[in-house]
Amino acid sequence: MAKNRIVELETWVTGLREGLSLNEIIEVVKKKCLDAADDSDQYQLASILKELLIESGREQEALRLIDEMIRRIPDDVRFPIAKASLNFYFLRDLEEALTSIDEALVRARRTGFFRREALGVKARILLKLGLREQLSQALEEIMSLEMKQGVPDIGRERDFVDRAPPELISEDLRTRYDAFCPKRSNQ
Domain spans of the chain, in order of start:
1-73, 74-187
pLDDT band per the 50, 70, 90 thresholds, residue 2 = low
Three-state DSSP at 164 gives coil
Q: Please list the alpha-helical segments (H only) found in the chain.
A: 3-16, 22-35, 39-55, 59-72, 78-85, 94-111, 115-129, 132-144, 159-163, 171-180
pLDDT band per the 50, 70, 90 thresholds, residue 119 = very high
Q: Is the pLDDT of residue 186 over 70?
A: no
Compute the mean pLDDT over every residue in the chain, rounded to the nearest whole number. Answer: 91
57: left (phi over 0), alpha (psi -120 to 50) or beta: left
Average pLDDT over residues 65-81: 94
| 119 vs 44, more confident | 119
pTM of the model: 0.87
Contact 60, 40 (CB under 8 A): no
